[in-house]
Amino acid sequence: MKKPYTVYRFFDDHEEKHYVLSSFSRQQLEELVEQYKAKVEKVYAGEFVKYLHEFDTEAEEVTVKDFYF
- For each successive 10 residues of the chain (69 residues), what is the average pLDDT? 84 90 94 94 91 93 92
62 φ/ψ angles, rounded to the nearest 5 degrees: -125, 155
The boundaries of the domain holding residue 52 are: 6-62
Nearest to 7 by CA among 47, 50, 51, 65: 65
Q: Is the alpha carbon torsion for 27, 4, 52, 9 positive or negative? A: negative
Alpha carbon distance 64, 26 (integer Å): 19
Q: Please report the pLDDT score of residue 1 as a whole number.
A: 61
69 within some domain: no
The whole-model pTM stands at 0.81
Is 35 a domain residue? yes
Question: How many structural domains comprise the chain?
Answer: 1
User: Bridge-partner residues for 18, per DSSP?
Assistant: 10
Q: Is 67 among the domain residues?
A: no
